[in-house]
Structure 1
Amino acid sequence: MNSLPEVNWHALQRLRTVFLEARPPVRDYWHSETELTSYDATFAQRIGWKWDFVLDELRRRGWQPPAGEILDWGCGTGVAARAFLDHHGTHNVTRLWYWDRSALARNFAVQRARQKYPGLAVEAGIPDNPAILLLSHVLGELGPEQIESLLPLVLRATATLWVEPGTYEASLTLIAIRERLRHRLHVVAPCLHRERCGILGPGNEPHWCHHFAPSPPEVHTDPFWGRFAHEMNIDLRSLPVSYLVLDQRPAPRAPAGSVRVLGRPRVYKPHALILACDASGVRDYRLTRRRLPDAFQKLKKGEWDILQIWHRDGDEIHGLQPFSDAAEAPPESTARSEPSTEGPA
């Protein structure tokens, strides 16, 4: 990865302070195009990696975006729409719209998109009924009334992709929105079902629905990103994310036995506890070293898939396979006389 040029570190420090300390509603914080350029080269890239993570999961789930207009609402520098178009292309997009309370941000996002996608019509504004609504890191800047006023737009869009920081507060707000809308729209992700959210079940008050998006491996050896991590006091390995995808169209059906792993598994000497979600709710499941040694070793290395196919006996996992291999490979199981040396994560 080439080093990124001409970043205003002082401006980034000010913006980071705003992000960490402000409470909604937040005033417009963009002061210049230079600040937007510096943000787009740094913080926005990290948001883009979260979008890559979510979009890759939707691909695995078999979800396809509807054709028509895209609206990136609360766009900032426009990284959410650019990530989306980099994954899906522009051939089914009739027009890209950007909206932000800041005219500086709107104009920046429009110009960047026009440069990157010269054949695509790009405008600033809000269409009446977008095919795709993108919402990215907006909850921290909105009060309850502003969130409420946003929901009619979610209901008018064919599909809504909403990505937020993986904080307890952001997760619970997305869950509340899901519960409001799950009988009117199909829940595509992160849920594998459209039942009541299991996080709301008794005993799950300490938990929240979040995951960890990976950073590109090259950033860990790039001098620019090393300086960014030092200047901003940020761990490049940690990209916690919460998200919600809603669609007027039915969601792709998950294979039988599918579960979603929440947060990070807790690995102990003889076993691991994995907080997981399916239609039955959210609770801890136990994976033992003795029963599934290959999978256990991968968990110890920090390697696991957020989507898996499990065979269970109560809360004990006795067989598993990767979600993507559900139709192809038998699960790792204690019934196998010679377990593979490379079990699934």
Structure 2
Amino acid sequence: MDESAWKKIQKLRQSYLNANGDLPDYWQDDELLKAYDETLAMRIRWKWRAVLDALPLPLTDLPNIIVDWGCGTGGATREVLSQASQPEHFKKVIFMDRSSRAVKFATRKTSEEFPFIKYGIKVDDEPFLLLISHVFSELPEAELKKLLPLLHKASALIWVESGRPLESRRLSALREGLRSTHSFLAPCPHQGLCGMLVPEQLENWCHFKAPVPKEVHHSAFWRECSKQLGFDLRSLPVAYLFAVHHPLKTDNDGDHVRVLAGSRKLKGYTRYHGCKTSGVFEAEFMKRYSKQIYESLAEPGLHSIYRAKDLSPKEPDDANSL
């Protein structure tokens, strides 16, 4: 990537970091779109890859029409198509973005990789899968309210955001508004009020750590990218929500715990944050109970769902152990 492209993407990244919920249309030319697609969008696709891998349903069980809202370069759609066991399951994509230049770029890139896909411009009454990615940093509350009818209409929704506190807590608040129309399949282990919304959790937030592809750590391009754009290739925090329209019955409203990012591995035990029906909590798990669970709790990924009884083993009874 040449010096001009690096400068453009540096300026764009800084605008994201400084955004207070409202940014103008910044897709001024295809050079910026291409640079973004090869750098920042790829990091977002790694998050999508981890989220899609952790979903409790196969992608082919979801509606075959994709609506990609705030599509940018179309990375979310392309990752869904790439990760689906049968990408031909998906018949049509509707890209939605305030930038017509971005929609054209996303359509062109998707057509190159998946030539069988057809495209639409209007959402009708057919069931659809709604994809939304990394928009909260530039989405004021007034615009979010305009989006709500589309959210409530979606047959299935996958929303992926930065793992920063602001974006994660906005996603938790949004979840509350969807409880009347949707069931939550991930990461939530229950259908009740999000535990992060109670006063005791104001300083906490629901997030996870997605893995960075191994080959990235041996890539000269990504080392340069990390240097130019100032991000850590070891860390990929993510917040997400996977919901489906009622009346799908779920089995995640029982005795399960979702372990969040932020665990601390200490001598002989791991201290972790968990989420269950009764709320968000902090607990400790002793190594002597199970070395495997102790190790997995220390570095929880997006598959970090446990049965509550496995995290609360009883101490051996001294009398019965003789």
TM-score by length of 1: 0.84
Between the aligned partners of 1:151 and 1:76, the Cα distance in structure 2 is 20
User: Residue 88 of structure 2 aligns to a residue in which SS?
Assistant: coil
The equivalent residue for 2:307 is 309
Between the aligned partners of 2:277 and 2:297, the Cα distance in structure 1 is 24
User: Residue 307 of structure 2 aligns to a residue in which SS?
Assistant: strand
Matched to 1:237, the amino acid is: R
Deviation at 1:6, TM superposition (A): 5.6
Matched to 2:76, the amino acid is: A
The equivalent residue for 1:68 is 64
After superposition, give the CA deviation of every residue in 1:140-182 in whole Å (9 maximum; x if it has no partner): 1111110011010011111111111111111111111111111
Does structure 1 residue 144 correspond to structure 2 residue 149? no
Q: Which runs of 4+ in 1 moved over 6 A?
A: none
Determine which of 161, 175, 188 is the counterpart of 1:178: 175
Determine which of 255, 265, 268 is the counterpart of 1:267: 265
User: Residue 20 of structure 2 aligns to a residue in which SS?
Assistant: coil
The equivalent residue for 1:215 is 212
Superposed CA RMSD in Å reads: 2.3
Deviation at 1:53, TM superposition (A): 1.1
User: Residue 243 of structure 2 aligns to a residue in which SS?
Assistant: strand
Between the aligned partners of 1:255 and 1:64, the Cα distance in structure 2 is 24
Determine which of 44, 49, 53 is the counterpart of 2:46: 49
Deviation at 1:252, TM superposition (A): 4.0
User: Residue 209 of structure 1 aligns to a residue in which SS?
Assistant: coil
Q: Is this contact kept in 1: 2:94–2:123, CA < 8 A?
A: yes
Matched to 1:290, the amino acid is: R
Does structure 1 residue 115 correspond to structure 2 residue 119? no
Structure 1: unaligned runs, 5 residues or longer: 320-332, 336-345
Between the aligned partners of 1:63 and 1:114, the Cα distance in structure 2 is 20
Between the aligned partners of 1:159 and 1:197, the Cα distance in structure 2 is 19
Determine which of 4, 14, 17 is the counterpart of 1:17: 14
Bigger CA drift: 221-230 or 181-190? 181-190
Matched to 2:309, the amino acid is: H
Aligned pairs, how many? 312
After superposition, give the CA deviation of every residue in 1:231-264 in whole Å (9 maximum; x if it has no partner): 1111011111111122114154249642111112
Q: Is this contact kept in 1: 2:209–2:300, CA < 8 A?
A: no
Q: Which has the higher helix share?
A: 2
Instruction: Decide whether aligned partners of structure 1 residues 251 and 9 sit closer, same or farther in structure 2, where only a CA change above 3 A counts.
Output: farther
Structure 2: unaligned runs, 5 residues or longer: 318-322
TM-score by length of 2: 0.89
Between the aligned partners of 2:203 and 2:6, the Cα distance in structure 1 is 36
Matched to 1:82, the amino acid is: R
The equivalent residue for 2:227 is 230
Q: Is this contact kept in 2: 1:292–1:318, CA < 8 A?
A: no
After superposition, give the CA deviation of every residue in 1:1-57 in whole Å (9 maximum; x if it has no partner): xxxx66821111111111111222210111210111111011111111111111111
Q: Is this contact kept in 1: 2:190–2:254, CA < 8 A?
A: no
Q: Is this contact kept in 2: 1:71–1:126, CA < 8 A?
A: no
Deviation at 1:61, TM superposition (A): 5.2
Q: Is this contact kept in 2: 1:270–1:289, CA < 8 A?
A: yes
Matched to 2:68, the amino acid is: D
Deviation at 1:318, TM superposition (A): 2.0
Deviation at 1:107, TM superposition (A): 0.6
User: Residue 234 of structure 1 aligns to a residue in which SS?
Assistant: coil
Q: Is this contact kept in 2: 1:63–1:251, CA < 8 A?
A: no
Between the aligned partners of 1:63 and 1:91, the Cα distance in structure 2 is 11
Instruction: Decide whether aligned partners of structure 1 residues 303 and 275 sit closer, same or farther in structure 2, where only a CA change above 3 A counts.
Output: closer
Between the aligned partners of 1:334 and 1:294, the Cα distance in structure 2 is 18
After superposition, give the CA deviation of every residue in 1:293-344 in whole Å (9 maximum; x if it has no partner): 44334555x46652223426xxx7328xxxxxxxxxxxxx969xxxxxxxxx
Instruction: Decide whether aligned partners of structure 1 residues 271 and 172 sit closer, same or farther in structure 2, where only a CA change above 3 A counts.
Output: same
Q: Is this contact kept in 2: 1:90–1:120, CA < 8 A?
A: no
User: Residue 222 of structure 2 aligns to a residue in which SS?
Assistant: helix
Q: Is this contact kept in 2: 1:275–1:285, CA < 8 A?
A: yes
Matched to 1:180, the amino acid is: G
Bigger CA drift: 60-69 or 9-18? 60-69
Between the aligned partners of 1:162 and 1:110, the Cα distance in structure 2 is 20
User: Residue 318 of structure 1 aligns to a residue in which SS?
Assistant: coil
Matched to 2:258, the amino acid is: R
Deviation at 1:99, TM superposition (A): 1.1
User: Residue 246 of structure 1 aligns to a residue in which SS?
Assistant: strand
Between the aligned partners of 2:300 and 2:162, the Cα distance in structure 1 is 22
Between the aligned partners of 1:255 and 1:155, the Cα distance in structure 2 is 21
User: Residue 131 of structure 2 aligns to a residue in which SS?
Assistant: strand
Q: Is this contact kept in 2: 1:189–1:244, CA < 8 A?
A: yes
Q: Is this contact kept in 1: 2:183–2:250, CA < 8 A?
A: no
Q: Is this contact kept in 2: 1:318–1:334, CA < 8 A?
A: no
Instruction: Decide whether aligned partners of structure 1 residues 54 and 251 sit closer, same or farther in structure 2, where only a CA change above 3 A counts.
Output: farther
